[in-house]
Structure 1
Amino acid sequence: MRLPVPENVPAAEDLGRVHFVGAGGAGLSAIARVMAQRGLPVTGSDDQDTPFLPALREVGVGLHHGYAAEHLGDADTVVVTTAAREDNPEVLEARRRGLLLLPRSAGLESVLRGRRLLAVAGTHGKTTTTSLLTVAMLEAGADPSYTVGGVLSATGRNADHGSGGDFVAEADESDGAFLVYHPYAALVTNVESDHLDQWGTEEAYAAAFDEFADRVDPEGFLVACVDNAGAARLAERQRAQGRRVVAVGEHPDAEVRATDLVLEGTTSAFTVVDRGVELGRVVLAIPGRHYVVDALAALTVGLRLGHPFDALARGLASFTGTQRRMEPKGEAGGVRVYDSYAHHPVEIAADLEAARAVAGTGRLLVVFQPHLVSRTRLLGAAMGEALGAGDEVVVLDVYLAREDADPAVTGALVADAVPLPSDHVHFEPDHGAAVAAVVAAARPGDLVLTLGAGDVTRLGPQVLARLGEDAR
């Protein structure tokens, strides 16, 4: 559901009693938690039991399972997830009563009032980079408020109201939400082609990032990861307009560079060089070259805000991950199982590269679930190509999310494009059969990676349980 953003979004304190339709989602749950921590009256509904709901209950948010008109109670404002259907009974009731209806972006904008916004955007890596910036700022003593699109392992939550003046927020481009905010500092990890169901063309998608960067405070700055061609072009255009831009990455032209990378097992280490001056070494407890760049960008924001390198580096070193981002789920029968959120070809390739390093001499077995019919139609072949970095691949059917099924667009489009021998690639719509296929193929020393933005995350524990039974 697409709701218009009011021309003047009220501050959270002026919204009265707020009800969230889709409170269990990553975005809405974060906003609801911050509002509740500020002492505002908050309720919510969801038809799914998600990992974000316990953090809402602990701050007193009244939650309902399922959607019904009476759940609105005496709400004054209703914040609605983009996944809501037009016939959602709570939305219909809010319209009947003439209540203020806000999309997620406006809900977040309401809690940003009065804070200095540090916004993290990009096609990939937003959640991890927002999390890295948050832990770095916390270690530096800034105590920012934050909203993240995943559960931060360091706190066990995806949001908190902090005592400091900064607000670290993930800025989502998928539905244009990031064009509502007014950052002091913006960080762009990369600009690839995605969400063309919303933007129509690659050119329009890229132009949206320029519009986002145009909204940065004239006194503030843009950090761009210039190893990525799209972000490098954005940096060039913004610099030409007089914007203060800090280029980061391994690229020799980067102002802040990562050098002497060592990627070993589940760790990554690199040296930070800022305008030719070596600042020191950063060691991460997460694997993968792409996480190095994410961490470097987060560090750079902290540095340009005046925080000391050593404190920021300690914060980054303490980061143990975000749920569903190369998250270790356990080990059974000598087989390790990881779970990750990657659903775009570039993300898939990056996570498989990291998983390969973690697997060492073992094989890499991947269970992948395509996300969205529209994305699979456009990028299914590229997804399959990226999955070719695995040794055994099981592809599930498309996770529909907010779209209707299309019989011409299934997981078979992805499986057929995987460049592995046919006996190493399986299209398996049935989740139980997919688990059985992985368990049958796995042997001690292997690594199983469940991959995708849908409910594929549920399969990892099932694989572990089956492997444990077989080991007995």
Structure 2
Amino acid sequence: MSLVRLVAPVAAEELGRVHFIGIGGAGMSGIARILLKRGVKVSGSDARGSDMVTELRELGASVHIGHAASHIKNIDTVVVSTAIRDSNPELGEAIKQGLRVIPRAAALASVMAGRTGVAIAGTHGKTTTTSMLTVALQKCGSDPSYCVGGQLVTTGLGADEGSGGVFVAEADESDGSFLMLAPDIAVVTNVEADHLDNYGDPRAVYDSFARFVERIGRTLVVCADDPGAAALIEPARGRGLRVVTYGEAEGADYRIAEVRPDGFGVLFEVVGKGEVRLSVPGAHNALNATAVIAVADELGLPFEVIREGLTAFTGAKRRFEAKGEAGGVAVFDSYAHHPTELAADLRAARDVVASYSGDGRVVAVFQPHLYSRTRFFADEFGAALGLADVAVVLDVYGAREDPEPGVSGAMVASRVPLPEEQVAYAPDKAAVPALVAKLARAGDIVLTMGAGDVTELGPKIVAELSAR
């Protein structure tokens, strides 16, 4: 979006009348919702209607279906998402009129202004950690405002205005826009190579996180187990920030011990604090929860209540989300689209199977997301899928990218280190539910994974399992 003028964020009350181009998107709609609850006049447009559009209209927004220059009338600020192209007629008209045009991240910074801002950053775990923290703070009665990259299971919302003084936000590094945020407290869960279509090389990814640390006002909470995140510790201290570490590493300020599966959850000990039980699976979630405990201490909130809030957290949409069960097979859906995320979810699935059935298997259904990511990480995706017992690989979901010659789901399937009969390349997505129902047996877990439309397959797989 070369036409967008990256102006400095201003306080929400200075935005005036705000128009969102692409208002129905998950990130845009959340900010629009918060502004509406603050009494700001909001309008917007989207390519199609949706439940979210209907809800925003009920809150008072004027929403147009389709984009037209005539929609930019009596507007002070226009907010655009990264999906909006320079050729969009509303964007062109806004620039023609000389209006303030800002990206979503600047709008998020505006609604955070004046609150104690807590931003959750990292290559993986942002949505879950942000959601966990929000639910735990709600349990304490602090009623935070929040803006998450997914939906909380408890509220069905991805963002809302709270009455308290804390604003919790997921900080998205994918396009570098998290550098517009200036939180008081920030968590960095991990730093790995990703979004190389934007950054070009891993060094640029790490450099962006280093620049993010320079924008923190008070405290950095960082995972000591992750080398990329741990590399931020000394530069942060050099800036005079308070640095709090967590993880299983010796010397971590919040050290995790004795992590073990517990049915569909996990039990672990935070040394010096006590035992914590989560209602979501996976050792990676013990790390996420410990980051929440560290932030809560920084905010002066009681551990006992935070612990209750963590136990009450039942997940976020598309983060190991249950889609149904039939024929003794449980089906889950995950947004995992990076090799590290696949590996973490497949290990969690294996823990769940072990807790309930010693002979159950893990059936992974993976849709690679983006041709560039598939090209960069084909080997790593294949290795991660080797943690499953059966792997079904769909073709690439291109999203914003055009196809690349020779890049397909077959690249990933060919690299899965399982016997040939336990790996299937399935380019016809419509045929996948029947294929999975044929492969799965009682006691198994089926996990659909990817950031594309693979999420649609869960209910269809359940239906096929019911019919067999």
TM-score (norm 2): 0.95
Q: 2:431 matched to which residue of 1?
A: 433
Native 8 Å contact 1:325 1:341 kept in 2:
yes
RMSD: 1.8
- Matched to 1:285, the amino acid is S
Change (3 A) 1:345 1:330: same
CA separation in 1, counterparts of 2:51 and 2:375? Answer: 29
Deviation at 1:417, TM superposition (A): 1.1
CA separation in 2, counterparts of 1:317 and 1:51? Answer: 30
Which structure 2 residues correspond to residues 101-116 of structure 1 after superposition, within 5 A? 101-116=101-116
CA separation in 2, counterparts of 1:43 and 1:411? Answer: 40
Deviation at 1:374, TM superposition (A): 1.6
Deviation at 1:245, TM superposition (A): 0.6
Deviation at 1:55, TM superposition (A): 4.9
CA separation in 2, counterparts of 1:354 and 1:70? Answer: 51
Deviates further, 325-334 or 62-71: 62-71
Deviations 1:386-436 (A, max 9, x none): 011112111112112222221322112111111112222222222111222
Choose from 323, 344, 360 the match for 1:329.
323
Q: 1:233 matched to which residue of 2?
A: 231
- Matched to 1:323, the amino acid is K
Change (3 A) 1:248 1:417: same
Choose from 276, 281, 285 the match for 1:282.
276
Native 8 Å contact 1:21 1:44 kept in 2:
yes
Deviation at 1:175, TM superposition (A): 0.7
Q: 1:35 matched to which residue of 2?
A: 35
Secondary structure, in 3 states, of the residue corresponding to 1:150? Answer: coil
Secondary structure, in 3 states, of the residue corresponding to 2:244? Answer: strand
Deviations 1:255-286 (A, max 9, x none): 1112222212311111222xxxx222211100
- Matched to 2:249, the amino acid is H
Deviation at 1:64, TM superposition (A): 3.5
Deviates further, 85-94 or 418-427: 85-94
CA separation in 2, counterparts of 1:306 and 1:81? Answer: 35
Choose from 374, 382, 385 the match for 1:384.
382
Secondary structure, in 3 states, of the residue corresponding to 2:86? Answer: coil
Deviation at 1:19, TM superposition (A): 1.8
Deviation at 1:93, TM superposition (A): 3.1
Deviation at 1:206, TM superposition (A): 0.5
- Matched to 1:118, the amino acid is V
- Matched to 1:317, the amino acid is T
Secondary structure, in 3 states, of the residue corresponding to 1:242? Answer: coil
Deviates further, 335-344 or 86-95: 86-95
Choose from 435, 453, 456 the match for 1:455.
453
Instruction: Determine what percentage of the aligned residue pairs are the same residue.
Output: 53
Which structure 2 residues correspond to residues 62-461 of structure 1 after superposition, within 5 A? 62-217=62-217, 220-273=218-271, 278-360=272-354, 361-461=359-459
Deviations 1:323-352 (A, max 9, x none): 000111111121110000000000100000
TM-score (norm 1): 0.94
Secondary structure, in 3 states, of the residue corresponding to 2:67? Answer: coil
CA separation in 1, counterparts of 2:203 and 2:76? Answer: 39
Consecutive unaligned residues in structure 2, runs of 5 or more: none
Consecutive unaligned residues in structure 1, runs of 5 or more: none
CA separation in 1, counterparts of 2:185 and 2:275? Answer: 24
Deviations 1:80-111 (A, max 9, x none): 11012232233233333333221111111121
Native 8 Å contact 2:2 2:86 kept in 1:
no
- Matched to 1:290, the amino acid is H
Change (3 A) 1:2 1:28: farther
Native 8 Å contact 2:269 2:275 kept in 1:
yes
Deviation at 1:57, TM superposition (A): 4.3
CA separation in 2, counterparts of 1:383 and 1:128? Answer: 22
Secondary structure, in 3 states, of the residue corresponding to 1:157? Answer: coil
